[in-house]
């Protein structure tokens, strides 16, 4: 009876040991890796993993990064009524609280002022846009120079402007969504502080814009509202560089 129990316990222990040794179920604790194991990564405790040392991502924990966080746009004024879409690239900072959790904060700014003279007449137009960006990057897996991330994020944008003295423009935009992608550090050329991150995601956008025309008989307002749910797209080949790739430098 005791032998049967010991035999069953040995079989169960063997099954557990086999499952724990499988990369898909194992949590890698090596210094050069966080999260689930990546294909080709050295197992924890091996001479290869020990020789690799801390990953580039590990070295950036507790350090600030400054860089370009992506191109954002903001609608100011209604389409067809003097409105326009302002591009406000977001510049900001990233800080990793630990190996798996970080914080992104950024600002995007756009300021335009145009004038045109035709004989004695002069037309002037101006527009201002401000975007506040916040995100929470989550590092789910990493190897020596690579980090796979999911970044829940939000953007709040405000805009205003005018066309001549009688036309006022305004706009508001709220974005809520998440991106998934990779951050690649340049440690392979001895610059681990420099990284590029590319991502795609899903974004919910609430947009309101208004154009007000002042007239002696009363103001005329044209409003535009939109609710959008969309994924990132690559309509033009260069979008991968202007919209979905961000550069960071850690100090």
Residue 137 pLDDT > 90, yes or no? yes
Whether 28 is in a domain gets the answer: no
Domain that holds residue 103: 47-250
Whether 197 is in a domain gets the answer: yes
Which region, left, alpha or beta, applies to residue 51 given φ > 0 means left and ψ of -120 to 50 means alpha?
A: alpha
Whether 191 is in a domain gets the answer: yes
Per-residue model confidence (pLDDT) at position 243: 58
Query: Which three-class secondary structure state does DSSP give residue 240?
Result: helix
Whether 36 is in a domain gets the answer: no
From residue 34, give the alpha-carbon distance in Å to each of 89, 125, 167, 168, 208. Answer: 31, 52, 55, 52, 42
Per residue in 225-242, pLDDT (tens digit) is 999 998 865 444 445 555
> Given the structure tokens 């557990």, which residue do they identify?
16
Whether 225 is in a domain gets the answer: yes
Phi/psi at 56 (5° precision): -60, -40
Number of Cβ within a 10 Å radius of residue 23: 12
Beta bridge partners of 123: 116
Per-residue model confidence (pLDDT) at position 54: 81
Do 206 and 177 meet the contact criterion of CB atoms below 8 Å apart?
Answer: no
Distance separating alpha carbons of residues 188 and 161, to the nearest angstrom: 47
CATH of the domain at 175: 2.40.160.20
Whether 21 is in a domain gets the answer: no
**Mean pLDDT in residue range 64-80:** 87
Work out the percent of the chain whose per-residue pLDDT is above 70: 72
Looking at per-residue confidence, does 89 or 1 come out higher?
89
Do 176 and 214 meet the contact criterion of CB atoms below 8 Å apart?
Answer: no
> For residue 244, what pLDDT band results from cuts at 50, 70 and 90?
low
**Mean pLDDT in residue range 123-142:** 92
How many domains are there within the chain?
A: 1
Whether 115 is in a domain gets the answer: yes
Per residue in 162-213, pLDDT (tens digit) is 988 789 999 999 999 998 989 999 999 999 999 998 888 899 999 999 999 9
How are beta strands 73-76 and 102-118 bridged, if at all? unpaired
Per-residue model confidence (pLDDT) at position 200: 86
Whether 125 is in a domain gets the answer: yes
Query: Which three-class secondary structure state does DSSP give residue 239?
Result: helix
Q: Is the pTM of this model over 0.85?
A: no
- The DSSP line for 40-57 is TPPPTTSHHHHHH-S-HH
Number of Cβ within a 10 Å radius of residue 66: 15
Q: Of 182, 100, 104, which Cα lies nearest the Cα of 148?
A: 182
């Amino acid at each position: 009876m005791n032998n049967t129990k010991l035999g069953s316990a040995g079989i169960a222990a063997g099954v557990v040991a086999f499952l724990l040794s499988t990369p898909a179920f194992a949590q890698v604790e090596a210094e050069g890796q966080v999260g689930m194991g990546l294909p080709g990564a050295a197992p924890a405790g091996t001479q290869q993993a020990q020789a690799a040392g801390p990953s580039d991502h590990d070295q950036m924990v507790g350090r600030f990064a400054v860089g370009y966080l992506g191109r954002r746009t903001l609608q100011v004024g209604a389409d067809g009524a003097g409105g326009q879409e302002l591009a406000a690239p977001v510049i900001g900072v990233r800080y990793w609280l630990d190996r798996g959790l970080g914080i992104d904060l950024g600002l995007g700014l756009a300021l335009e002022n145009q004038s045109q003279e035709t004989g004695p007449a002069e037309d002037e137009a101006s527009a201002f846009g401000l975007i506040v960006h916040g995100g929470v990057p989550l590092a789910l897996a990493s190897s020596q120079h690579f980090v796979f991330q999911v970044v829940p994020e939000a953007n709040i944008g405000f805009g205003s402007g005018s066309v001549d003295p009688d036309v006022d423009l305004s706009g508001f935009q709220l974005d809520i969504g998440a991106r998934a992608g990779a951050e690649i550090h340049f440690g392979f050329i001895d610059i681990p502080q420099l990284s590029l991150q590319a991502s795609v995601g899903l974004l919910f956008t609430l947009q309101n814009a208004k154009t007000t025309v002042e007239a002696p008989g009363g103001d005329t307002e044209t409003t535009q509202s939109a609710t959008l749910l969309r994924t990132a797209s690559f309509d033009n080949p260069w979008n991968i560089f202007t919209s979905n790739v961000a550069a960071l430098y850690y100090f």
